[in-house]
Amino acid sequence: MKLKLLFILLLFSQVVEATKIKDLAHVRGVRENQLIGYGLVVGLNGVGDGSSSKFTQRAVSSMLQSVNVKIDANDIKSKNVAAVMVTASLPPFSRHGDKIDVEVSSMGDAKSIVGGTLLLTPLKSVDGDIYALAQGKIKKGYLKKGAKTPRETSARIYEGALVEKEVGFDLYHKNRIELSLKKADFNTAVRIQNKINQTFGVKSAVAIDPRTIEITRPSNFSMVEYLARVDEIEMYGVKTDKIVIDQKSGTVVSGSNIMIDPIIISQGDLTLQIESANHLPKAGKENQYISDTASVNVKNNVVSMQKVTVANVARVLQKMGSKPEDIIAIIQTMKKQGAIRAELEVI
């Protein structure tokens, strides 16, 4: 079943509204850690890896030996098993027993892994230590009309792993720490420095560079209390528009007023041209769309738009029959080329 683009219009922030410091910066050193593991998905009803995937046969043999069943890898002919790579992001301050999502992707020639069960898979970081254990059912997706089995070779298991090891980060005993701006800007760094100092009445913040502000906790606060107060400080006149793309579901979440600067993008047989004011050619009714405040001219697979937002571009491309993955690729390209100034997050 083709994914249908869902474009949700949310007003994340406006210039006239306050933006909190926690939306502009994060504590340096507090970050996610990437995890990876090699595992097996079983119960695939004949759509797993074939005999050509030798690594799957060896993995099955090794797994069986761990439960005291010895069998030569060459004697394994089952197509109900698939070798997979399992990846996950360990959030900062995760604690033992927390649950995190995992992504499961086939390595061999399996036709599908949905409907199977991921067997216990250790997830390691770059240091080689095990930080989480993944296991769980890979739920079936939607089926095409007349199809017997969904054909997917990658899937997400929500809360499919348990955290087994914590990444230590001692905030409580620190006297100094650094804030890292999500986007380097001299003016924003200085404004945050001044606002923090003004709020606490002491010189506790110093902008080191356009990306970094060093803060020293006042003596009457613990570092945790101090950061909690700093996070909630409101900054006026700082715009923090954001676009979130979920590549798996084809979902794009965007502020309704995120503008796109002039740019020309060609993808396949489609050319998208974003133009500045007073440069849009006139068109007849048969090849013209009106999308909110954006006038759109379509002729010979060339889309010309003027003073448009990300939301308008997505709507028009969807009406023209563009696939969700193509629309997402266009948005990513516009961001990479600097035509979109909002923050772009791909999940």
* pLDDT single digits (tens) 33-59: 999 999 999 888 888 777 777 777 777
Q: Could you give the angle at the alpha carbon of 108 between the alpha carbons of 105 and 111, nearest 5°?
A: 80
> pLDDT value at position 79?
81
Q: Is residue 54 part of a domain?
A: yes
Q: Is residue 12 part of a domain?
A: no
How would residue 248 be classed by pLDDT, with cut points 50, 70 and 90?
low
pTM beyond cutoff 0.75: no
Q: Average pLDDT over the chain, rounded to whole?
A: 77
> pLDDT value at position 165?
92
Count of the separate structural domains present in the chain: 3
Tokens of 109: 């020639």
Are 217 and 263 in a shared domain?
no
Check pLDDT > 80 for residue 230. yes
> pLDDT value at position 322?
75
How would residue 285 be classed by pLDDT, with cut points 50, 70 and 90?
very low
Q: Is residue 269 part of a domain?
A: yes
Q: 330 with 263: CB under 8 angstroms? A: no
> pLDDT value at position 286?
38
| Range ranked top by mean pLDDT from 66-75, 171-180, 294-303 | 171-180
> pLDDT value at position 300?
52
99-119 average pLDDT score = 89
> pLDDT value at position 249?
64
Higher pLDDT: 10 or 19? It is 19
156-180 average pLDDT score = 89
Q: Is residue 203 part of a domain?
A: yes
Higher pLDDT: 347 or 93? It is 93
Tokens of 238: 């700082």
Whose tokens are 């700082």? That residue is: 238
Q: Is residue 294 part of a domain?
A: yes
Higher pLDDT: 339 or 268? It is 339
Per-residue pLDDT of 11-36, as tens digits, reads 333 334 568 888 888 898 888 899 99
Phi-psi group of 166: left, alpha or beta (phi > 0 → left; psi -120 to 50 → alpha; rest → beta):
beta
Are 211 and 248 in a shared domain?
no
173-202 average pLDDT score = 90
> pLDDT value at position 14?
38
Are 201 and 89 in a shared domain?
no
Q: How far apart are the C-alpha atoms of 334 and 268, rounded to whole Å? A: 16
How would residue 9 be classed by pLDDT, with cut points 50, 70 and 90?
very low
> pLDDT value at position 205?
92
124-150 average pLDDT score = 74
Secondary structure, 3-state, the chain: CCCCCEEEEECCCCCCCEEEHHHHEEECCCCCEEEEEEEEEECCCCCCCCCCCHHHHHHHHHHHHCCCCCCCHHHCCCCCEEEEEEEEEECCCCCCCCEEEEEEEECCCCCCCCCCEEEEEEEECCCCCEEEEEEEECCCCCCCCCCCCCCCCEEEEEEEEEECCCCCCCCCCCCEEEEEECCCCHHHHHHHHHHHHHHHCCCCEEEEECCEEEEECCCCCCHHHHHHHHHCCEEECCCCCEEEEECCCCEEEEECCCECCCEEEEECCEEEEEECCCCCCCCCHHHEEEECCEEEEEECCEEEEECCEHHHHHHHHHHCCCCHHHHHHHHHHHHHCCCCCCEEEEC
Check pLDDT > 60 for residue 280. no
How would residue 151 be classed by pLDDT, with cut points 50, 70 and 90?
low
Structural domain boundaries enclosing 196: 25-30+170-235
Mean pLDDT check: name the lowest of 83-92, 222-231, 263-272, 298-307: 298-307
Residue 45, CA distances (Å) to 38, 41, 78, 150, 197 in order: 21, 11, 10, 12, 64
Higher pLDDT: 324 or 26? It is 26
Q: Within the chain, what is the greatest distance between any pair of CA atoms?
A: 76
Are 227 and 285 in a shared domain?
no
Per-residue pLDDT of 72-85, as tens digits, reads 766 667 788 888 99
- Say if strands 288-291 and 343-346 run parallel, antiparallel, or are unpaired: unpaired
Are 45 and 131 in a shared domain?
yes
- Which residue, of 163, 188, 206, is where some domain finishes? 163
- The sign one gets for the Cα dihedral 94, 97, 98, 103 is positive
> pLDDT value at position 112?
87
Nearest to 11 by CA among 309, 274, 262: 309
- Which residue, of 107, 129, 163, is where some domain finishes? 163
Phi-psi group of 325: left, alpha or beta (phi > 0 → left; psi -120 to 50 → alpha; rest → beta):
alpha
- Which residue, of 163, 189, 209, is where some domain finishes? 163
Q: Is residue 143 part of a domain?
A: yes
